[in-house]
Structure 1
Amino acid sequence: MSAATLDPVFVEVTAPGSPFEVGERGGLRQFVNAPDDLNHLIESARRFGERTCVVDFDSDGAERRLTFTQFFDWRDQLVPMLHAHRGERVAICMRNRAEWLVGFLAIMRAGGIAVLMNSRASGPELVAMLEDTAPAVVLVDAERGQAIRAAGWQGRMLDLTHPFDPDEIARRSAGPVSAHEDAAGDDPCTILFTSGTTGRAKGAVLSHRNMITGLLNTQLSGMMVLHNMARTMGLPVETLIANLPQAASLLVYPLFHVSGLISAFLSPFLAGSKVVVMRRWDAQEAVRLIAREGISLFSAVPAMLWDLLHRAELSDVDIASLRNIGSGGQALPVNLVEAVHAMCPQAQIGTGYGMTECTGAIAQSVGPDFMRRPAAAGRVLPLVDARIEDADGRVLGTGELGEIVVRGAQIMLGYWNRPEDTAAVLSPDGWLRTGDVGLIDEEGYVFIVDRKKDMVISGGENIYCAEVERALGELPQIRECAAFGIPDERLGERLVAVVVAEGIGEDEVIEWVAQRLARYKAPARVAFSATTLPRNAVGKVDKNILRPAWPTLIGEQ
């Protein structure tokens, strides 16, 4: 049953002629009034003029407040500095900061393809991504630029955290400004990297249509919340919207994640909201910013929500300005939901399920929808087709357990330069195998029960165990190894490892991985086994035996 038959608000919001009008094109449900080129949506935000657009802190810690007019002026100044043209790739490798945001907008204006790199990755990992995508230029901050150079990259880089030479700006600004050549909906727009199962990250190529569909899905969800609020208050929705203060979003997700890019940056930006940027997560600073900036929109992984609630309680700071709190990546514990409601009684809580390859969420539930099924990962979005398949590809019925497979206008084009990897997950008619095992109930709620992929989600970060095991296997002292996740109240899961090794200690093993992969991929603990690791019938290490044995292996019981 579709969401349209269940929710009259959806029917109202997607009525013919509305920005969210839905129709069928190419066999897929799409937003028929949406432009083909993401830059058209970005340009529409110029109308917000003197509203505050971005609040940030520069490298010296000085606060920056930029209006929409100032932000677009900065964007327009940067475009000619890129030397980039339609279809060329331009990489961004920076921590969350205003320069990242303006860099992305400049790439879209120039007609480039934004290659979004994991700023937490090691130098060799970053160079591997650059070698894979061969960008015309890399936009960096000082620290990332140094790491990339030290790892051997010789290509062109622009450090956006250092002022450009005034003569260079004047010379380029005086030149003719090339007209923006519109992209087609299926043209590549962004490349976001997903953790590699074999030690090398894959670049998911998202088209302009993918990006716009993901964005409008997020905005449609917000508009439905407003319509439900107006109904509850007995007001016309136009009256409610006209009297709402400017919304403010606290950006804590990394911008190289699809959640950070779409939910925390582009969606609020296009709605005229204030975006307050956090460079790194700090619960005390988050509490301060929420109170000072009147943050109303906050999306974060459960670990961050726990941190925020504990810090607000300890500091006795009022964070009741929060009106919309979202999470994803793992189920929200019931006690966390109760704690959020107790501290922010007016807040609408929501959750979503998706992945980079889906340009964000393919299932979502907010407010009453979420509270009806808090254990669910979300409700299948109206523009998404979703089904459950068994190991042989047979489509299963409602409530049956199998792999979640999805199709829609937001499903990626494929993996950059990886035709075999693309074919393994994406069928010729556009169905994507998610690798997640679950079921869909009669009302379209998705329940995740397991992952086919050997992956740990720790604090919202995807960590592939095979990648960690490859790094561990390069240590001469290690004869056998296994990495896996164990439950953790704050992080959801914690990555640990069991090794058979001699002549090396736990700290050395952890540091070895941290130096070769991103530090967050290093095991939190390493246990040493005196005997060979258990194996299953096909000779693979049996992690189903190791997980319950972990407390004994690490000496906790």
Structure 2
Amino acid sequence: MAAADPIFAALTAPGTPFEIGECGGMRQFVRAPADLSSLIESARRHGAATFIVEGDRRLSYDEAFARRDALAVMLAIAPGERVAICMRNRAEWMIAFLAVIRAGGVAVLVNSRGAPAELRAAVEECTPALVLADSERAALLTEAAYPGRVIDARDFPSEGRFDRDVAPAAPDDPAAILFTSGTTGRVKGAVLSHRNLITGLMSVQLAGLMVLQNAAQQYGVPVETILANRPQYATLLVYPLFHISGLGSAFLSPMLSGGKVVIMRRWDPEEALQLIAAERITALNGVPTMLWDVLNRAKIDAVDISSLNNIGTGGQALPINLLEAVQAAVPNAFLGTGFGLTETSGAVAMALGADFLRKREAAGRVLELAEARVLDAAGAVLPPGAIGEIAVRGPMVMQGYWNRPEETAAVLDADGWFRTGDIGRIDEEGYIFIVDRKKDMVISGGENIYCAEVERALSELPQVAEGAAFGLPDERLGERLVAVVLAAGLSEDQVRDHVATTLARYKAPVRVAFVRAPLPRNAVGKVDKIRLRAMWPDLSGEA
């Protein structure tokens, strides 16, 4: 979004809700609410409109806020206390988050897909005052002998009044802790402040207004006419809510605009098509795997997906053949992509509509409030077009990792520049192109799998002398995780089952190859995964 754009200039001019100004050495939304609770409260105005759809359950905004208020009373926490949320995607998860923020707490978002020991470790990482869990996760925490207070979602109250005075949080107070991992594979809690999350949400809102204004200009009609005639924004919630993409773009952003959030428990193409048709879903944001599934299944079953007018992806490049297939199936849909991380409260670069189609291989265009640059190995800033590590700065960048000062200092400097670990380039127009990942991570079907974590699980098997996990390109999944181990007396299934039960099933390697000699290593003694990838066809027997 270029500041020279007259629509952008008008939307961010002095006196407007999205006024941008300098504050603390960074460009910020100067009229942003001080705390996230105030921003959330503005969604009450949507009243009787449908907010959450989950199976046969339908909650209006009024009903959801009544449940939110009742749970906020039940929590009985002091401002600043941490509350862990450990559930699958469901209405209670969303209500729990809203209640924690309303009560002045800090929401700790736990990956609900872990094994019992993983769940306990993630919860205890941030020493919460209590845990809000669904019955399955509550049972897993009991199995792991978690000693803290747990409230089962079945016991959430349905109505009540929150009349306790809670002092507004300061903009830089923590609002949420989301877990992420680096090359060590050990979970870290990224601490996101109220300012961080509000900046991320308002940036999405501003992008939406830009699209709306451009459409009004293109068709020569007032914005009010478009708003009066368009259907309710309806999104299919397919990302886990404990991911920043689930929390921000699939939950809080639609809520602020009066949208409808339709929950899927797990990804299933047939169910997705049924929901798109029945709920008239307008927005589908997912990884390439999901988009392919919808397009292929819609063609087979002749399902109407014409309600989709907003299709987006992020985290992985959108293959050209997929882009063409989307355009053929829903020619009037508005396409977009973005680049961001948990540590940046979501997107720091976006490209929508014509902006996206101009440079389809880009991961997005740097947003107005974000600064981005590319660094060489020594930390020197490289010129436009040069390849190096991408670093970003802005009011959306996290405060740091919870109780990890050394790991925070390794990626976040005193001037607020965050080293993303992604290798890429930025052109003169501000488009970001991702070339590789410095972080040893695989994105398979939209899930982040950290190789070091899997390798630690492999090392727990006494028969394994050494092992390495890495990703290979996969047309449907984006990448698939495979492993090579030096071991005797083990089968492929035994290795996969061990990882699936030690961690989580989606983290288990799709294939395991066995070697009889030590794994190849590079000049500094690390396992050479470039050579392993080249050796994979011979090791695995795959052509």
CA contact (8 A) 2:235 2:254 kept: yes
Cα deviation code 1:225-267 (max 9, x no counterpart):
1111111110122322233221111111000000000000000
- Residue 198 of structure 1: CA displacement? 2.7
| Other-structure match for 1:96 | 89
The residue type equivalent to 2:120 in the other structure is V
Once the two structures are superposed, the pairs formed by residues 301-316 of structure 1 within 5 Å of their partners are 301-316=287-302
The residue type equivalent to 2:433 in the other structure is F
| Other-structure match for 1:146 | 139
Q: Distance in 1 between matches of 2:185 and 2:164?
A: 41
Cα deviation code 1:295-325 (max 9, x no counterpart):
1111111111111111111111011101111
| Other-structure match for 1:291 | 277
The residue type equivalent to 1:160 in the other structure is A
CA contact (8 A) 2:185 2:451 kept: no
The residue type equivalent to 2:504 in the other structure is A
Cα deviation code 1:506-543 (max 9, x no counterpart):
00001111111122111111001132211111222111
> Are the structure 2 counterparts of residues 264 and 163 from structure 1 closer, same or farther at C-alpha, using a change threshold of 3 Å?
closer
- Residue 163 of structure 1: CA displacement? 5.7
| Other-structure match for 1:137 | 130
Q: Distance in 1 between matches of 2:244 and 2:20?
A: 23
Residue 161 of structure 1: SS of its match in structure 2? helix
The answer on 1:344 being equivalent to 2:330 is: yes
- Residue 434 of structure 1: CA displacement? 0.5
CA contact (8 A) 1:196 1:467 kept: no
* Structure 1 stretch displaced more, 535-544 or 391-400: 535-544
CA contact (8 A) 2:71 2:156 kept: no
- Residue 37 of structure 1: CA displacement? 0.6
- Residue 162 of structure 1: CA displacement? 4.3
Cα deviation code 1:56-77 (max 9, x no counterpart):
13xxxxx111111111111111
The residue type equivalent to 1:151 in the other structure is A
* 5+ long unaligned stretches in structure 1: 58-62
Q: Distance in 1 between matches of 2:17 and 2:293?
A: 37
Q: Distance in 2 between matches of 1:373 and 1:10?
A: 20
> Are the structure 2 counterparts of residues 163 and 116 from structure 1 closer, same or farther at C-alpha, using a change threshold of 3 Å?
closer
| Other-structure match for 1:49 | 47
Q: Distance in 2 between matches of 1:426 and 1:411?
A: 9
Q: Distance in 2 between matches of 1:41 and 1:534?
A: 53
Once the two structures are superposed, the pairs formed by residues 45-444 of structure 1 within 5 Å of their partners are 45-57=43-55, 63-162=56-155, 177-444=163-430
The residue type equivalent to 1:89 in the other structure is R
| Other-structure match for 1:4 | 3
* 5+ long unaligned stretches in structure 2: none
- Residue 196 of structure 1: CA displacement? 4.8
Q: Distance in 2 between matches of 1:221 and 1:163?
A: 36
Residue 447 of structure 1: SS of its match in structure 2? strand
Q: Distance in 2 between matches of 1:143 and 1:149?
A: 10
CA contact (8 A) 1:195 1:462 kept: no
The residue type equivalent to 1:23 in the other structure is G
- Residue 290 of structure 1: CA displacement? 0.6
Aligned residue pairs total 543
CA contact (8 A) 1:99 1:160 kept: yes
Residue 232 of structure 2: SS of its match in structure 1? coil
Residue 203 of structure 1: SS of its match in structure 2? strand
Q: Distance in 2 between matches of 1:553 and 1:355?
A: 34
Q: Distance in 1 between matches of 2:307 and 2:130?
A: 41
Q: Distance in 1 between matches of 2:76 and 2:345?
A: 28
Percent identity over the alignment is: 63
Q: Distance in 1 between matches of 2:2 and 2:450?
A: 34
Cα deviation code 1:267-289 (max 9, x no counterpart):
00010011111111111111011
Cα deviation code 1:489-508 (max 9, x no counterpart):
11111110001110010000
- Residue 148 of structure 1: CA displacement? 1.1
| TM-score of the aligned structures, taking structure 1 as reference length | 0.95
- Residue 141 of structure 1: CA displacement? 0.6
Q: Distance in 1 between matches of 2:505 and 2:77?
A: 33
Cα deviation code 1:429-454 (max 9, x no counterpart):
10000011110001110001111111
Q: Distance in 2 between matches of 1:363 and 1:351?
A: 9
The residue type equivalent to 1:4 in the other structure is A
Once the two structures are superposed, the pairs formed by residues 20-59 of structure 1 within 5 Å of their partners are 20-57=18-55
| Other-structure match for 2:477 | 491
Q: Distance in 2 between matches of 1:451 and 1:8?
A: 36
The answer on 1:463 being equivalent to 2:456 is: no
| Other-structure match for 1:60 | none
Residue 171 of structure 2: SS of its match in structure 1? coil
Q: Distance in 2 between matches of 1:290 and 1:483?
A: 37
Residue 331 of structure 1: SS of its match in structure 2? coil
Q: Distance in 2 between matches of 1:483 and 1:156?
A: 37
RMSD: 1.4
Q: Distance in 2 between matches of 1:342 and 1:429?
A: 46
Q: Distance in 1 between matches of 2:296 and 2:137?
A: 32
The residue type equivalent to 1:312 in the other structure is A
CA contact (8 A) 1:481 1:500 kept: yes
CA contact (8 A) 2:182 2:439 kept: no
- Residue 85 of structure 1: CA displacement? 1.8
The residue type equivalent to 1:71 in the other structure is A
| Other-structure match for 2:12 | 14
- Residue 187 of structure 1: CA displacement? 0.2
- Residue 113 of structure 1: CA displacement? 0.1
Q: Distance in 1 between matches of 2:524 and 2:98?
A: 50
| TM-score of the aligned structures, taking structure 2 as reference length | 0.98
Q: Distance in 2 between matches of 1:210 and 1:512?
A: 38
